[in-house]
Amino acid sequence: DAKTTQPPSMDCAEGRAANLPCNHSTISGNEYVYWYRQIHSQGPQYIIHGLKNNETNEMASLIITEDRKSSTLILPHATLRDTAVYYCIVRVAAGANSKLTFGKGITLSVRP
């Protein structure tokens, strides 16, 4: 799986949008971009994934650049409960190689 690069940490004010960047310059054509988050002392939680089109669900939006070498996860109105480690993962869609390869992620701190 292609590697991803994320800044180690960022913060944002409660109620504001949180934009979390991720670089994946070696992504292959059949690899998806996934985002998971891990709140302290819990297991990781799926947020969203996409191939090349922008995606939105009830939790977040995923913006993937046209060349697919980077992406941004957007939490439109961050709350204190969004404080967590966010992992950007690149992964093939199917087959035996469907494990998730986590990096260190980015620690998002939402301040009151």
CB 61 within 8 A of CB 34: no
| Near other proteins by CB under 8 A: residue from 7, 16, 93, 111 | 93
Smallest distance from the beta carbon of 46 to other proteins, in angstroms?
Answer: 4
Mark the segment that binds other proteins (CB under 8 A) among 11-19, 21-29, 73-81, 99-107: 99-107
Residue 43 found at the interface with other proteins (CB under 8 A): yes
Write down the residue that tokens 């957007």 correspond to: 74
Residue 8 found at the interface with other proteins (CB under 8 A): no
The DSSP code for 5 is B
| Near other proteins by CB under 8 A: residue from 2, 49, 59, 109 | 49
Mark the segment that binds other proteins (CB under 8 A) among 17-25, 61-69, 73-81, 103-111: 103-111
As given in the structure block, the two tokens for residue 84 are 């967590």
Instruction: Tell me the pairing of strands 106-111 and 9-13.
Output: parallel
Residue 23 found at the interface with other proteins (CB under 8 A): no
Q: For residue 59, count CB atoms less than 10 angstroms from its CB and return exposed for 0-12, middle for 13-18, buried for 19 or more.
A: middle
